[in-house]
Amino acid sequence: MPLLTEPARTDDRDAPGADGTEPVRAWRSLEEWHAGGPGHEALSREHPPSAVLPPEGVARRTFLQLATASLAAAGFSGCFRQPQEKILPYSTPPEGLTPGVPLHFATGLEWNGRTVGLVVESHEGRPTKVEGNPLHPASLGAAGVFEQAALLGLYDPSRAKTARLRGVEAAWSTVRDALRQQAEREDAGAGLRFLVEPTSSPLVQALYARIQQRFPSARLIPCGAALADGRREGTRLAYGRVLDVVHDVGRAVVVAVDDDFLATTQPGHLRAARDFVNARTPEAMNRLWVAESTLTVTGGFADERLRLRPSQGAALMLALAEEVGVSPRTVRYYVQRGLLPAPPFKGPDTVYGEEHRVRLKAIRVLQARFLPLDAIQAELLRLSPEELRRLAETPVGAGTPPVPEDVPRMPPKRPGKDPTVEVARYQRWLLAPGLELHVSEQAEAKVRALAERVRALIEESEEGTLS
């Protein structure tokens, strides 16, 4: 009697038993339970009737025995004589190449429109190693995971070897002809769409501009695996135009709000990591404060890490601005006027450094002395960082020069009405404690230069008296 038999499926499956009760149905799968239903075909394939029959022809065991024996026999013949190796020299050697000596090429890899300069080692035309180019500002000798992995892409078997036209492999000449035919169309390019990767190449940008000039109705649509769209939209909202975000993290204090600037997926992270670590010397350790919603590399590296809901990011930024006494809007205004160095922006989240804080505090102190912004700007330019720091530490209102009550407040500027009023508007430059110089706002550059010389003279004389 066979051990395994094909279970009777069709006969007396649904027939009532001898005693009139339903027979007990044995089943191996849900499909079998629903025999005859939609899964019946698949079921018969899963358990074919021949599955329980003994195999015919060469059994698996015999086959393995034969294969092992022939493999062992093949091993004997390989002992003595090595297979003949071939040497295939160049027909026309590339210039400057000595076979056996690798060449190093300076090149660049563009990732999301940002280029990293690289040096690639190449053996007889085959690249083997990617390193950063020490002379390139975005690399400084470092290469990230994407740059290193780009090497594997060069040897990817599924890498495109020929052009494709409408999904079919085609010769380059065919594709060129098809493109030329398209380029000769007479209309403005309605319905013509280009999927383009983000690029910072001026050459490619010029090409795009020429395409747009030739086909005004055509559109270039950004296309990429991971576009930094949100970030660009943030800069557009803040500044009215799309800007690239460049981090400046080589500061004494770095505050990052939901900004993983050390992450390897972040464009510019190589430079950011180098700048940040360079500022982290044992003599002068910088501080990294990170507020973020998920644990990131940067957060793990932070001196102080604050868990923060994404919705609270803006509130934290406002609170930080409060600490230095100004609103974010004012900060942006100061940056625009040149009172503050341009901060490294990340969309709505900004990384501010210690320098910003000192300068903002100094501006507040100077504002309490009723100095106009122009004078403050001149003052900020004049003061050394050390003096600036001391100024920022003085309490607001202290050292205020006495302002006489009877100084006539100038009427607000009403342009185009009374020229004398315009000329009457003066800026007050604090030359020394108790000495002010009034310069007309309409003063020419010559007059301003004169005023600068006066101030320089006074400074010199002050230094002279001190020494």
Partner 1 sequence: MAPLFRPGTDSVLRAVIALALGVPAVALAGLLLLARNPLGRGSFTPREQPLPFDHRHHVGDEGIPCGYCHEGAWRSPVAGVPPTQRCLGCHAQVWNGSARLEPVRASGFDGTALPWNRVHALPDYVWFSHQIHVNKGVGCVTCHGRVDTMPAVQQVAPLTMGWCLDCHRDPTPWLRPVSEVANLTWRPPGDPRETGRAVQAALGVSPRTDCNTCHF
How many residues contact partner 1, by CB under 8 A? Answer: 18
Alpha-carbon distance of 285 to 271, in angstroms, equals 19
The residue within the footprint of partner 1, chosen from 8, 26, 101, 226 (CB under 8 A), is 101
Task: From 286, 285, 300, select the one nearest 251 (Cα to Cα).
Answer: 286
Alpha-carbon distance of 29 to 400, in angstroms, equals 91
Binding mask 59-98 for partner 1 (x = CB under 8 A): --------------------xxxx-xxxxxxxxxx----x
Residue tagged 């038999």 (tokens): 5
The DSSP letter of residue 53 is S
Q: Is 360 helix (H, G, I), strand (E, B) or coil?
A: helix
Q: Which is nearer to partner 1, 7 or 99 (CB)?
A: 99
Alpha-carbon distance of 197 to 221, in angstroms, equals 8
Cβ contact 217:189 at 8 Å: yes
The residue within the footprint of partner 1, chosen from 2, 38, 54, 100 (CB under 8 A), is 100
Nearest-approach distance from CB 78 to partner 1, in angstroms: 10
Q: Which is nearer to partner 1, 49 or 100 (CB)?
A: 100
Alpha-carbon distance of 101 to 406, in angstroms, equals 85
Residues with Cβ within 8 Å of 439's Cβ and at least 6 positions away in sequence, in order, are 426, 427, 429, 447, 448, 451
Alpha-carbon distance of 243 to 239, in angstroms, equals 8
Q: Which is nearer to partner 1, 86 or 414 (CB)?
A: 86
Cα dihedral 70, 76, 77, 78, rounded to 10, equals: 110
155 binds partner 1 (CB under 8 A): no
Q: Which is nearer to partner 1, 27 or 90 (CB)?
A: 90
Residue tagged 């090149």 (tokens): 107
Binding mask 364-383 for partner 1 (x = CB under 8 A): --------------------
Q: Which is nearer to partner 1, 33 or 90 (CB)?
A: 90
The residue within the footprint of partner 1, chosen from 99, 134, 385, 411 (CB under 8 A), is 99
Q: Which is nearer to partner 1, 86 or 417 (CB)?
A: 86
Nearest-approach distance from CB 43 to partner 1, in angstroms: 54
Cβ contact 349:258 at 8 Å: yes
Q: Which is nearer to partner 1, 81 or 417 (CB)?
A: 81
Nearest-approach distance from CB 171 to partner 1, in angstroms: 20
Query: Which residues of this protein are in contact with partner 1, per CB under 8 A?
Result: 79-82, 84-93, 98-101
